Structure 1
Amino acid sequence: MMPLTHTNAFSKLDEIENTALVQLVYVSSLTLTSRLNTTIFDEVEGHARDYNEQYGITGTLCYGNGHFLQCIEGEKAKVAVLSQRIFADSRHKNVQVLLLKVIKQRSFSDWRMRLLFLERWLWSPATKKQATQLSPYLPFAPHDWSAERTEQFLQIIKTFETAPHIKAAGITYNALGNMVRHIAAPHQAFLVVQGFLSVLLVVGLVLLYL
């Protein structure tokens, strides 16, 4: 199945009974403004936990390389309302639906929407060992995934004992990363570090040829 547009996804949802249990998986990209927002991940995760617990929605929210992949599971009527709200959110763009189907049971029944931070450079050694199966899916670029590839990815992450999450995994930055972690979000720290190293390289070359 090719990725669905908003309109096609909602049309397909309309064909499903309101009480049916469904799984919807979409992908999107953070806007530039959102990437500069150091609290966006806490905001998204906190709101999702509260909303989903209230309405019986389960699933997982993955972030990496500027992209989101979210799996939403619940009654069709409630998933339809939530997906409309999500797709209208201006904090992300390029929304595509990779999977939309009726299911017999939830894949993430014990998760109230956990945020999986798929930035390998931020993982602890223990997390890297556990998540070696994710190597074929990194760098994270889910917009081109087929339905089969999406389902394989979900099968892998639902078996994790601990999620590859920057806080839950106890991940530490390198020395320079630690200096900037209080003023930059995790996904921005890498850019800051790389920028600083680039400046040092330029300065070194200048001094070399003076």
Structure 2
Amino acid sequence: MQIPLNHMETVKKLSDTPKDGLIQLVYVSSMTLRSRLKSSVFDEVEAHARSYNQQHGITGTLCYGNGHFLQCLEGEKDEILTLQERIFADGRHKEVQILSLKNISQRSFEDWRMRLLFLERWLWSPATKKQADQLSPFLPFAPHGWTPARTAQFINTIQTFDNPPHIKAAGITYNAMGNMFKHIAAPHQAFLIVQGFLAILLVIGLYLLTY
């Protein structure tokens, strides 16, 4: 069962946790159309996360695939709650949903650098493709609605990666544009196919008339 998307619900759930108690929060969200058009959004998110997290003792990982973000955050209760408010207010994504929230005795991700993990097979580098195959059970990436148990299984898988699958900037651009096209074209797929077919017939007709 997913935890309600409400900051006060999170505060209430952690009411018995000391301010400096260690917690893990995992949430998922979807990119907005504006973000899909901006390929640099990934670099911006990663750079900001690394800077902020280092200053506030927060560790974790940020995953992206199929137009969705999944982020695992670990740190002291007060720091995580403050960051959660910032996340909910971030206009670069929407449909934010908390998948898992729990007290932990130790971190799964010790490195303060917020690693960025791409869950798109065709974008993975050859050097990391073999270990990335462990992610097959979670693809295509659609984390909205995951149970806490499935979320934990995913986190346990990715925390073993020495070098997360990575891609080049050009690939990010194509990915963002592809998702944008899918977002726009999907509801009108039949119309686009018919129009494309008619366009081909028109070109053939003009060619026959000319020659």
Sort the TM-score into its range (normalised by shorter chain): 0.7 to 0.9
Partner of 1:18: 19
Q: Does 1:5 align with 2:5?
A: yes
Question: How do 1:110-189 and structure 2 match up within 5 A?
Answer: 110-167=111-168, 181=170, 185-188=173-176
Query: What TM-score results when the alignment is normalised by the length of structure 1?
Result: 0.82
- What is the one-letter code of the residue matched to 1:134? L
* Equivalent AA in structure 2 for residue 2 of structure 1: Q
Distance (Å, rounded) in 1 between the aligned partners of 2:15 and 2:54: 24
**Aligned AA (1:185):** T
Q: Deviations over 1:51-89 (max 9, x none)?
A: 101111000000111101000000101111011111111
User: Which consecutive segments of 4 or more residues in structure 1 shift more than 6 A?
Assistant: 192-195
Which amino acid is the alignment partner of residue 4 of structure 1?
Answer: P
Matched residue, 1:50: 51
Q: 1:116 to 1:189 in 2, by over 3 A?
A: same
Tell me which amino acid in the other structure corresponds to 1:151.
A
Structure 2: unaligned runs, 5 residues or longer = 186-192
Alpha carbons of structure 1 residues 49 and 41: separation in structure 2 relative to 1, 3 Å: same
Aligned to 2:190: none
Alignment pair present for 1:106 and 2:107: yes
Structure with the larger helix share: 2
Q: Distance in 2 between matches of 1:49 and 1:87?
A: 18
| Change over 3 Å in CA distance of 1:147–1:97 after alignment to 2 | same
Distance in 1 (alpha carbons) for counterparts of 2:15 and 2:181: 48
| Cα offsets for 1:4-24 (capped at 9, x unmatched) | 312422321334210100000
Equivalent AA in structure 2 for residue 104 of structure 1: S
Amino acid at match of 2:98: V
Say whether the 8 Å CA contact 1:17–1:76 is kept in structure 2.
yes
Q: Larger Cα Rg: Structure 1 or Structure 2?
A: 2
Partner of residue 82, structure 2: 81
Matched, 1:94 2:95: yes
Equivalent pairs counted in the alignment come to 193
Secondary structure of 2:128's partner?
Answer: helix
Kept in 1: contact 2:28–2:71 (CA 8 A) = yes
Rounded to whole Å, the distance in 1 between the matches of 2:174 and 2:19 is: 39
In 2: Cα distance, 1:129 partner to 1:204 partner: 43
Q: Which amino acid aligns with 1:101?
A: K
Q: RMSD of the TM alignment (CA)?
A: 2.6
